Amino acid sequence: MTERETTAASRPAAGTFPADAASGPTTFAAFAVSRHRLQFDGAGITTLVTGMGCPLKCRYCLNPICADPDYKPRRFTVGELYETVKIDSLYFEATGGGVTFGGGEPLLQAAFIRDFILYARERGARWRFAVETSLAVPEENLGLLTEPEILIDEFIVDVKDMDAEVYRRYTEREPERMRKNLARLAALCPERITARVPLIPGYNTEAGCDCSERELRGMGIASIDRFRYILPKKKKA
């Protein structure tokens, strides 16, 4: 098991920004575009585009800025983001990498991601597209990215924990959306899913993570990423 540091012991209230995504608009509200990433955001060399807004309220949120109502994100049109990331096209194509949308919850802006993929492919981009998502979004948002002509190459799903009570306590939300979307995705393309199952101090246990892993494998998901949250000392639970 690897260890990954978390950044926050508290975070602002869950953002309502952007309000909805399934129906437009065609801009993406981002708090960062990070180039030349390896290992954690999908195969090959990737550029990670992190979006504002998240429906969950994780106790140890990795990116609390995504829900900060005072933060002024950059808004990209599809063309602007394409021009920004294509500088690394050769790296993407040489390593089997591409663009990963994270956050926050990028599937809140699913319509933009769909438009961006179509736009890039129309211009000949042979890039891999991935999303890092909690899947705690309306079914129709996920549906925009699972149509045959769009289907995302890799869904990196931040499951948290499959136990309803643990999930509820840690995220302050009900697990039904995540579970329903995950079941749907696993039925469609289990080979495209990597499920992240963290050991969360004060919330779950190794044995609980084992249970989550068993359930995920039972759904046909073979790629499971187990790791441990490391809390900064002064922020321990």
Should residue 104 be labelled a site residue for ligand SF4 when binding is judged by CB under 6 A? yes
Should residue 44 be labelled a site residue for ligand SF4 when binding is judged by CB under 6 A? no
Should residue 66 be labelled a site residue for ligand SF4 when binding is judged by CB under 6 A? yes
Q: Rounding to the nearest 10 degrees, give the CA dihedral for residues 41, 47, 53, 54.
A: -10
Burial class for 94, CB neighbours closer than 10 Å (0-12, 13-18, 19+): exposed
Should residue 54 be labelled a site residue for ligand SF4 when binding is judged by CB under 6 A? yes
Site for ligand SF4 in 127-186 (CB under 6 A): 134, 158
Please list, in sequence order, all residues whose beta carbon lies within 8 angstroms of the beta carbon of residue 130, skipping any fewer than 6 positions away: 41, 42, 43, 46, 98, 99, 100, 101, 152, 153, 154, 155, 156
Shortest CB 79 distance to ligand SF4, Å: 27
Closer to ligand SF4 by Cβ: residue 54 or 195: 54
Closer to ligand SF4 by Cβ: residue 86 or 169: 169
- The three-class DSSP label of residue 101 is strand
Closest listed residue to residue 155, CA positions, set 120, 118, 122, 181: 181
Closer to ligand SF4 by Cβ: residue 16 or 222: 16
Should residue 61 be labelled a site residue for ligand SF4 when binding is judged by CB under 6 A? yes
Structure tokens of 89? 């096209």
Should residue 197 be labelled a site residue for ligand SF4 when binding is judged by CB under 6 A? no
CB atoms within 10 A of CB 119: 16
C-alpha Rg value of the chain to the nearest Å: 17
Per the document, the length of the chain is 237
CA atoms within 13 A on the CB side of 228: 10
- Taking CB under 6 A as the criterion, the residue among 63, 100, 141, 212 binding ligand SF4 is 63
CA distance 226 to 62: 16
Binding span for ligand SF4 by CB under 6 A among 39-47, 57-65, 184-192, 223-231: 57-65
Shortest CB 226 distance to ligand SF4, Å: 17
Shortest CB 192 distance to ligand SF4, Å: 20
Closer to ligand SF4 by Cβ: residue 64 or 208: 64
Should residue 204 be labelled a site residue for ligand SF4 when binding is judged by CB under 6 A? no
Shortest CB 66 distance to ligand SF4, Å: 5
Residue 228's DSSP bridge partners are 3, 199
Should residue 194 be labelled a site residue for ligand SF4 when binding is judged by CB under 6 A? no
Binding span for ligand SF4 by CB under 6 A among 102-110, 138-146, 201-209, 220-228: 102-110
Which residues are near ligand SF4 by CB under 6 A? 54, 56-58, 61-63, 66, 103-105, 134, 158
